[in-house]
Structure 1
Amino acid sequence: MKKIKTFLATALVALASVSAHAAPADPAGFWTTPTIQGYGNIHYLPDGAFKPQPGHTYKVVFAMTQGTAKPDKVNPALDHVARTVNLYVAAGVPLGKLKFVAVAYGAATPLALDDAHYRSAYGVPNPNLPLIAELKKAGVTIAECGQAVAEHHFQYGWIDPDVTLALSGLTTVTTLEQQGYALMPL
């Protein structure tokens, strides 16, 4: 009996620890997606330090290199691009002042496949395409590394039309950095 009580106590402590680190329930709008609806959850801190200034223009190139654990889930790097848009707009920066380019390569390459070829490769619809469309509407350029497409044995025609096919991720990042873009590796 003592072993059962010890086991149950240990299990409850472990459960409490996991619950404390889980994402909070959102009944009162704690997490919001003010601009890119349904993606890039933010909790805005009006008095947070290092807030973007509404009058400035922000130029960022996102190097998206991480894949997703499950093909039916949005790529986490792409979701972080949405989070960045949501944070800047929530801080008062107009979309027109955001010059964002997100280039996918490495393990992130499949996120740019059109739906037919993504389904063929992974057996599910491409969950990234609705987010890519929303980001494009917000003025974000989503680019795909042409070298990574070839390395993955994909055809260039398989890339979704909302995605810009770039010579490479390497040249995209370095060219944009030379133009004053800040690099954000994801």
Structure 2
Amino acid sequence: MLFTAQSKQAGPVIPTHGAVWPVENPDYKTRLDEPLKVVFDIMESPDSPDQINARIETAARFLNMHAQAGVPTENLHVAIIVHNKASKDIIKGGAYRERFGVENPNEQLVNDLLQAGVQVVFCGQSSLSRGFPRTETIEGVQLGLSAMTALIQFQNDGYRLVKF
């Protein structure tokens, strides 16, 4: 079997991030008519403060991939739980620049995810232990008691945990 070169395709949900490879005629069919509820556990982050967090971008890939495959966006329910080293990635412009000397490369991505209806929950324990107060987080990010609590509650609500 010969494979032909294809390019990743951007969007349609998050046009600036999360390009995916189109898969034509898969054997295992995607069910287009049922909800896909996913919660991503995001605790790792690149060491360099000027690099985007590929784990956060996974949420954009999930949305774009399924929308491209024909899953209606109203069937896509996505949450990301941010804690540990990834705490810095949800800090807004001025506070991030003050700490790291560069713009937050994740800020636009996080804003686009929030705009697309993704719930972004920041671990309150990480907020306090890592010194990133709620006042420094990107608008729309929710502060929770803990990542553990949020992960359990989302799973209790039928979300499936994906740890990439």
What's the TM-score, normalizing by structure 1?
0.80
Cα deviation digits, residues 42-87 of structure 1 (max 9, x gap)? 1010222444322111111110111113211211111111111111
What residue number does 1:5 align with? none
What residue number does 2:8 align with? 31
Higher relative contact order (CA 8 A, sep 6+): 2
Cα deviation digits, residues 132-170 of structure 1 (max 9, x gap)? 111122211112111111110122211111211121111
Aligned amino acid, residue 34 of structure 1:
G
Is 1:163 equivalent to 2:141 in the alignment? yes
Cα deviation digits, residues 98-140 of structure 1 (max 9, x gap)? 1110111111111111111111111111111111111122211
What residue number does 2:55 align with? 77
CA contact 2:87–2:132 (8 Å) conserved in 1: no
Unaligned runs of 5+ in 2: none
Runs in 1 of length 4+ with deviation above 6 angstroms? none
Is 1:144 equivalent to 2:133 in the alignment? no
Which of the numbers 107, 115, 122 marks the counterpart of 2:93?
Answer: 115
Higher helix share: 1
CA contact 1:58–1:98 (8 Å) conserved in 2: yes
Larger Rg: 1
How many residues matched?
159
RMSD: 1.5
Identity of aligned residues (%): 28
Unaligned runs of 5+ in 1: 1-27
Query: How does 1:1-186 map onto structure 2 within 5 Å?
Result: 30-35=7-12, 36-186=14-164
What's the TM-score, normalizing by structure 2?
0.90
